Structure formats: structure tokens, C-alpha cells
Amino acid sequence: MYLPFTILLPFVFTILSPYFVSLTHSKVARLESRPFYIHPEKLSDVSAKIRHQCQALGWIQSQRPYLSFLGEEASIESDLYVGFFQDNGPRLKALLVYIEHRYYGKSVPFGSAEEALKNASTLGYLNGAQALSLAKNFKTCAEIMMPIGHDKHDTMFQTAPFNMTSAIDNCKSSYGVSPRPHWVTTYFGIQDVKLILRRFGSNIIFSNGLADPYSVGGVLEDVSDSIVAIKTLKGTHSQDLSTRRKDDPEWLVMQREKEIKIIESWISTYQKDLRGLNMS
């Protein structure tokens, strides 16, 4: 009996829908689209064709993993050759699976982006309770507040502090919704992310470069033996996921190697467990 081990590579604000499209295990790299229902409770017949691509670079089907890229807030084409996948897929003998997030690229419901983003009814299928896919401006109004501003000490540009009153007025005039600044932490219960993850999480690497401003909100310390934090002083946003280069600094080479060895240990443990259950 073969049970696949899937490694998910999410980017900012992405998550796997529980009713995702089945994938074709093709050795030919091509983009395909298949329809699936996008409402998690299946209370409607709204569907969208989700583009995906599979690459079998040295993949051996028996007890080998899938590396799944879950898409970001953009078309999938630019992500088809993510360096981490291309560099490590053959080493892991993994099937590489790239999935375009709904409402981006060509993976939109209702036939077109214009229809999908037309009003509150169609935008409702973009709800973060279903998936953390972003239509950037709308989502910052409806769910994920991102206060960004700067004063005279932060930049050479004109002072532009964040103004909540202006943000609320803009959201109301643009989308007819009022921001909920604390919705994310309230809904997902992440006021204490370490406590939450300790209760149910496993096999997660939190990779942070401290030169990335986002790192201040990251998980910078290990949560458990299988939920680990890897941080580097000089690293920038997603730098460890870029393609390997001959002139990569030693710290970056070591960070990538540490990450891939952790993933290899997960796969090894999984395969050992299968053998112990006589399921290999």
C-alpha cells in the first residue's frame, strides 16, 4: 500500500483548501486546469478551474514524496521554477506539484476576473476562513489589516504615517466594508502561536532572515522537536528558496542544507513508520 508523503511550501498568506483538485501524476511538465467546488461546506455549485503543473524530476513513485507549492498572490507562471524545488526535487526523488491559488492568474470562478471580483457576493468565495488567498486590497480591508507608514526618521521620503480613520474611509468607499483590525488573531486563535502549534502542529520549518522586516512577526524559536525555527542574521525575504548560485554566501548554503536534512529526516521517519505497520 502506497501512502504519499506531501511537503507543502506555502508563501505569504497561502493555505491548502480541504477540497483541492486531484492532480495528474504526469512526467510531462505542463499546465493543466481542472474544476473543483470552492465552497468548503459544498453548499453551492460554484466551481473554478485551478491550474497546476507536475514535474517528475527523478521521481520514483513508490514511497517518494510530493513537494507541493501552494501558490501566492500572483499567476503561477513565475513560480514554476522555484529554486528550492528544482535544486532539491531530484535529491528527494520527489514529484513537484505547483498549484495556482484561486482568484489569481487563470484560476478564477465565474468565468472571468471581472465577474469574480464584481461584488460582495462573488468576493465572498475569497473568504479567509476558506483559504488565505489574497485579492490584496480587498483582503486588507475585509480581514487582514496591514498598517504601513513611515515618519521622518524612517526614510528619505515625505512623512506618511498610517492613519486608521483614512484607511476605514477608503475601505468603505472602495468595497463597502469596514476593517476588522484583530480579526485574524481572533478567528484563528494565534495570540500565542507557540501554544497553538504545540497542541496540533508537526513537521514545520519556520525560516526567517532577520534582514527581512517580516521576521519581527515570525516564529524565531523552536516550538517542539518537529516544529523548528531556522534564522539567519543576513537573510532576506525567501532568500533560501531562490536558485543556488556559485557565489552564494556560506551561511546561505548551510541554511539550505539544514532545511533539506530536516525534510529528509521527516521522510525517513515516515517510511520507517510505514514499514513498522507493514504498509510499505
SS3 208: strand
Q: Do 258 and 182 have their domain in common?
A: no
- pLDDT for the residue 102: 73
Q: Do 3 and 92 have their domain in common?
A: yes
- pLDDT for the residue 62: 65
Q: Do 200 and 174 have their domain in common?
A: no
Strands 95-99 vs 66-69: parallel, antiparallel or unpaired = parallel
What proportion of the chain, given as a percentage, has pLDDT over 90?
A: 15
Distance set, CA 26 to CA 12, 44, 56 (Å): 28, 31, 7
pLDDT (average), residues 40-63: 68
Q: Do 113 and 123 have their domain in common?
A: no
Q: Do 164 and 225 have their domain in common?
A: no
Q: Do 136 and 114 have their domain in common?
A: no
Q: Which of 76, 93, 118 is the last residue of a domain?
A: 118
**pTM exceeds 0.75:** no
**pLDDT digits 0-9 by tens, 59-72:** 777 667 888 888 77
- pLDDT for the residue 20: 29
Q: Do 71 and 141 have their domain in common?
A: no
Q: Which of 167, 187, 207 is the last residue of a domain?
A: 187
Q: Do 112 and 150 have their domain in common?
A: no
Domain of 168? 119-187
pLDDT higher at 52 or 259: 259
**pLDDT digits 0-9 by tens, 115-173:** 666 666 666 666 544 443 345 677 778 777 888 887 877 778 888 888 989 989 998 89
- DSSP-assigned letter for residue 22: P
Q: Which residues of 85-105 are buried (b: 16+ CB within 10 A; e: fewer)?
A: beebbeebbbbbbbbbbbbbb
Which pLDDT band holds residue 9 (cuts at 50, 70, 90)?
Answer: low
Which pLDDT band holds residue 12 (cuts at 50, 70, 90)?
Answer: very low
Domain count along the chain:
3
Q: Do 123 and 208 have their domain in common?
A: no
pLDDT (average), residues 16-21: 28
> CA-CA distance, 32 to 95, in Å (whole number)?
16
Q: Which of 148, 167, 187 is the last residue of a domain?
A: 187
> CA-CA distance, 77 to 5, in Å (whole number)?
25
Q: Do 205 and 156 have their domain in common?
A: no
Q: Do 243 and 176 have their domain in common?
A: no
